[in-house]
Amino acid sequence: MKLFVYHTPELTPTDVLPECAIVVDVLRATTTMAKVLASGGEAVQVFSDLDLLKQTSESWAAEKRLRAGERGGAKVPGFDLGNSPLDCIPEKVEGRRLFISTTNGTRALQRVQKAKVLITAAFVNRSTVVQYLMDKQPETVWIVGSGWEGSFSLEDTACAGAIAHSLVQSTGLSADELAGNDEVISAIALYAQWQDNLLGLLHHATHGKRLLGLDGHQDLDYCSQTDILDILPMQQEPGILKSHH
Ligand code: MLT
pLDDT tens-digit map of 205-235: 999 999 999 999 999 999 999 999 999 999 9
Q: Indicate whether residue 70 lines ligand 1 (CB < 6 A).
A: yes
pLDDT value, residue 103? 87
Mean pLDDT throughout 188-212? Answer: 97
Q: What is the pLDDT of residue 245?
A: 83
Task: Indicate which atom in ligand 1 lies nearest the CA of residue 27.
Answer: 8
Check: CB of residue 99 under 8 Å from CB of residue 216. Answer: no
Residues 99-144: tens digit of each pLDDT = 999 989 988 999 999 999 999 999 999 999 999 999 999 999 999 9
179 CA from centroid of ligand 1 (Å): 28
| pLDDT at res. 22 | 98
Q: What is the pLDDT of residue 205?
A: 97
Q: Are 190 and 24 in contact (CB under 8 A)?
A: no
* DSSP H stretches of helix in the chain: 29-38, 50-58, 90-93, 105-111, 126-136, 154-171, 175-178, 182-194, 198-204, 206-213, 217-223
Residue 172 has pLDDT above 90, yes or no: yes
Q: For residue 32, which atom of ligand 1 is closest to its CA?
A: 5
More confident residue, 103 or 58: 58
> What spacing in Å lies between the alpha carbon of 147 and ligand 1's midpoint?
9
**Ligand 1 binding pocket includes 30 (Cβ within 6 Å):** no
- 31 pLDDT above the threshold of 90: yes
> Considering the chain, what is the average pLDDT of its residues?
96
Query: Within 10 A of 210 (CB to CB), how many other CB atoms are there?
Result: 15
**Quick check: 27 and 223 in contact, CB under 8 A?**
yes
CA distances to 38, 122, 173, 211, 224 from 228, in Å: 10, 10, 26, 22, 10
Residue 80 has pLDDT above 90, yes or no: yes
83 lines ligand 1 (CB under 6 A): yes
Instruction: Output the pLDDT for position 13.
Output: 97
Task: Report the atom number in ligand 1 closest to the C-alpha of 83.
Answer: 9
pLDDT of 106: 87
Confidence of residue 73 (pLDDT cuts 50, 70, 90): confident
Torsion 160-235-129-115 (CA) sign: negative
Q: How far is the CA of 236 from the centre of ligand 1 (A)?
A: 22
According to the model, what pLDDT value does residue 141 have? Answer: 98
Does the model's pTM come out above 0.75?
Answer: yes
pLDDT score of 45: 97
- The secondary structure of 145-200 as a DSSP string is E--BTTB--HHHHHHHHHHHHHHHHHH---HHHHBSSHHHHHHHHHHHHHTT-HHH
* d(CA 83, ligand 1 centre) in Å: 7
**Which of 71, 79, 83, 110 gets mutated to test ligand 1 (max ligand atoms within 8 A of its CB)?**
83
Between the alpha carbon of residue 25 and those of residues 17, 123, 155, the distances in Å are 20, 10, 8
The alpha carbon of 177 and the centre of ligand 1 are apart by a number of angstroms equal to 33
Ligand 1 and 25: CB distance under 6 A: yes
Which residues fall within 8 angstroms of residue 10, CB to CB, at 6 or more apart?
A: 111, 147, 150
Give me ligand 1 centre to Cα 164, in Å. Answer: 23
Per-residue confidence at 95, pLDDT binned at 50, 70, 90? very high
Helix, strand, coil proportions of the chain in percent (round to 5)? Answer: 45, 20, 35
Rounded Cα–Cα distance for residues 100 and 86 (Å): 15
